[in-house]
């Protein structure tokens, strides 16, 4: 899986890069182990404001490209690690919801074909 990390108003050091790879990259790979490649993830880490010192001033956004479908999650937090943890949890839910939709669409197609082949449309 290809992961791209962008930052705004933050410095991307090796510790932060490893944290993102551990939390986002590893979790997305676990959830999408049965998907066919290529899977791309774009992570954007932002410090929203320069003059505030407390509150939810860090933001993390993740876009996962699954064969033409984009799954987007974003979260804010008091620290960049907290924002990354929250966006990871939200991303897990979004991916599970996306997979459920794909399964439902496949079921609808199979039901429709079954009706056609068994002659229910007369």
- Residue 110 is predicted with a pLDDT of 84
How do the pLDDT tens digits run along the chain, 122 residues long?
A: 788 899 998 888 999 999 998 888 887 777 777 766 667 889 999 998 776 667 678 999 999 887 677 889 999 999 999 999 999 999 888 888 877 666 677 778 888 888 888 776 55
**Which pLDDT does position 96 carry in this prediction?**
80
The pLDDT score that the predictor gives to residue 85 is 93
Q: Which domains does the chain have, with CATH numbers?
A: 2-117 (3.30.160.100)
Residue 10's CB is within 10 A of a number of other CB atoms, namely 13
Neighbours of 8 (CB within 10 A): 10
The pTM score is 0.74
* Rounded Cα distance, 55 and 59, in Å: 11
- Cα separation, 51 vs 64, in Å, equals 31
pLDDT score, position 14: 93
């Amino acid at each position: 899986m290809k992961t791209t990390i962008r930052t705004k108003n933050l410095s991307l050091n090796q510790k932060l890069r490893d944290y993102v790879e551990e939390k986002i990259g590893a979790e997305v790979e676990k959830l999408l182990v049965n998907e066919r490649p290529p899977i791309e993830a774009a992570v954007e880490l932002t410090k929203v404001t320069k003059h505030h010192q407390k509150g939810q001033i860090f933001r993390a956004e993740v876009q996962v490209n699954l064969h033409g479908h984009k799954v987007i999650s974003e979260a804010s937090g008091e620290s960049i690690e907290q924002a990354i943890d929250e966006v990871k949890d939200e991303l897990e839910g979004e991916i599970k919801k996306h997979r459920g939709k794909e399964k439902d669409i496949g079921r609808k197609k199979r039901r429709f074909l079954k009706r056609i082949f068994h002659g229910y449309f007369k």
